[in-house]
Amino acid sequence: MKITVRLFATFRDGRQKVLELNLPDPATPQGVIDKLGIDQAEVAILLINGRDGKLDTILMENDTISLFPPVGGG
């Protein structure tokens, strides 16, 4: 199954902004995070197709996942 992963802020370090991944069925955001070597605790916001997502959601063909680390600033 093909999905698109959009990475933001520090998740882009050493990676592309947008990745196209081919994953076996069934796939979840947790599997994507593991595949990318991102620590689950570092993911502050997870969106699936622009909506709030959960790590154990079963993904569908052509879904888009957006991953954001915690955001700091003043």
- CA-to-CA distance for 63 and 50, rounded, in angstroms? 10
Q: pLDDT, tens digit, for every residue of 32-70?
A: 999 999 999 999 999 999 999 999 999 999 999 999 999
Q: Are 14 and 74 in contact (CB under 8 A)?
A: no
The pLDDT score that the predictor gives to residue 26 is: 94
The torsion region of residue 61 among left (phi > 0), alpha (psi -120 to 50) and beta comes to beta
Partnered with residue 3 across adjacent β-strands are 21
Tell me whether residue 33 is in a domain.
Answer: yes
Tell me whether residue 73 is in a domain.
Answer: no
Tell me whether residue 74 is in a domain.
Answer: no
The pLDDT score that the predictor gives to residue 40 is: 93
Query: Dihedral of CA 54/59/63/68: which sign?
Result: positive
Number of domains in the chain: 1
Tell me whether residue 25 is in a domain.
Answer: yes
Whether residue 73 has pLDDT greater than 70: no
Query: For position 22, which CATH number holds?
Result: 3.10.20.30
The pLDDT score that the predictor gives to residue 71 is: 79
Radius of gyration of the chain (CA): 12
Average pLDDT over residues 28-32: 96
